[in-house]
Structure 1
C-alpha cells in the first residue's frame, strides 16, 4: 500500500543523503591525507639521514717536503757572509729528508776554492752538527734547530793574529765572532717542547781582493771564540 510523500519526508531524506555524502567526503579526505603523509615521510627521513651522514672534511695541513738545501747567496761583504754561514750552520730539521751530510755539503760549497782548508773545515762542521747516531735519535722527537744572531764583530786579537801569520794569510782574510741564541724545538711524549742557549764562535773567511766573493775557511770550537 503506497502512502503519499509529505514535505517532512522529503526533508528527512535530503538530510540523510547529505549526511552520507558528508561522511564519504570526510573518509576520502582522511584517506588522501594518510597517503600523502606516507609518500613524503621516507623522503624527509632520507633528508635527515643524509644531513646526519654529511661530514665537513677539514683539509689537513701537510709539511712541505724539503729535499735540497738552498745555496748561500754570493756576497763580497764579510759580515753578511759570516751571518749567512752562522745561520746555515745551526739550521737543521731531523723531521725532513735532509741528512747531516747535506748540511756539510751546503757549507763546503762556499769553502776556499783552493781546497787547502776544506778537510779542516769538514772536521770543524762535524763538531757543530749532531753525530749520525744522535741525528737518528733526535729524529724520533722531530727535533729542529735554528740560530738567532745577536752580533757580528771582529775579535780584538785578530790584528795580533794577522801579524803572527805574516804572509801565510791571503789578502782579504778576516775573522768575525758571532754571538747568538741557539733554539731547539721538538715533540716529547706528544707535547711540544723548546729550549734556547747562548752560543759564541768565530768564523774565519777570505774575501776581496783575493776573491770577488767571500769564502769560508775554518771555524773555532763552539763557545770558544777568538776574543
Structure 2
C-alpha cells in the first residue's frame, strides 16, 4: 500500500512540534537546590551560541524575548515568570539562550542559585538543534495557566530547613496549565497541546537595597511535571 507523501510530511511535522514535550519529560532537574543546596557539577558551561538564520527564512525580528514583569506579589510574579518562560517564537531570530537571559535577569541577586536556575531553564527550552528544526515550521509556543497555588509540601520543607538555609521571603508556587505550540505546513496551521505542571521557587523579601527594594526574584524551577503538591 502506498503512503501519501503529503500525509506523511504532515504527520512528521506534528511529531516534530510535539517532540519537545517528550524530551522535556526525560530531561529534568531532579533537585530543587533550595533545601539540598546548589548542585555540584564538573561540566563546563556551554559557549554562547550566535543567532543563526536558517536558509530561506526571513530576516530576524528586532524584538527581544518576553520580559518578566516585576511584582511584589509571589503568585503574580510566578505567573509572570512562567508566561515569559513558555512564550517563544522560533521565527523571531532569537535562540534559546536569549530567552534564558530574560528569566535570569530576575534571578537570585546574590548569585547563589543562578547556575542552578540556568540549568533549570535549559531543561524547559528546546535544544539549539531542535530550535533550528522547529524554525522551519515557524513554530511558536505559549502557556495558558489554569491554576497557581502554594503547595502544602512547601510548609513541610520550611519546617525542615535549617536556620538561614532559605533566603528571606522564600516561597513556592505550583503552576498547572496547558502548553500550546503552533506551526505552519504548506500554508496550513498545525497545533499541539500538552498539560503541564511544575513549581516555581521564588523569594519576595522585605524592602532592602540588596533585595531589589522588595521585588520578587526567581530562585529555581522544579522538574517539569514533577511539582510540589
Normalised by the size of structure 2, how large is the TM-score? 0.69
Matches within 5 A, 1:66-145: 66-145=62-141
On the 8 A contact 1:183/1:194 being kept in 2, the answer is yes
On the 8 A contact 1:66/1:98 being kept in 2, the answer is no
The 1:70/1:224 distance shift into structure 2, 3 A limit, reads closer
Where do 5+ consecutive residues of structure 2 fail to align? 1-57
User: Deviations for 1:3-40, whole angstroms, at most 9, x for unmatched residues?
Assistant: xxxxxxxxxxxxxxxxxxxxxxxxxxxxxxxxxxxxxx
**Root mean square deviation of aligned Cα:** 1.8
What's the counterpart of residue 193 of structure 1? 190
Which stretch shows the higher mean deviation, 65-74 or 160-169?
65-74
> In 2, Cα distance between the equivalents of 1:146 and 1:70?
11
Q: Which has the larger share of helix?
A: 1
What's the counterpart of residue 223 of structure 2? 221
Normalised by the size of structure 1, how large is the TM-score? 0.70
What's the counterpart of residue 172 of structure 1? 169
> In 1, Cα distance between the equivalents of 2:228 and 2:195?
16
Matches within 5 A, 1:20-99: 65-99=61-95
The 1:138/1:64 distance shift into structure 2, 3 A limit, reads closer
State the 1:218 CA deviation. Answer: 0.2
> In 1, Cα distance between the equivalents of 2:65 and 2:173?
24
How many matched pairs? Answer: 166
State the 1:65 CA deviation. Answer: 2.8
Matches within 5 A, 1:193-212: 193-209=190-206, 211=211, 212=214
- Which structure is richer in relative contact order (CA contacts within 8 A, separation 6 or more)? 2
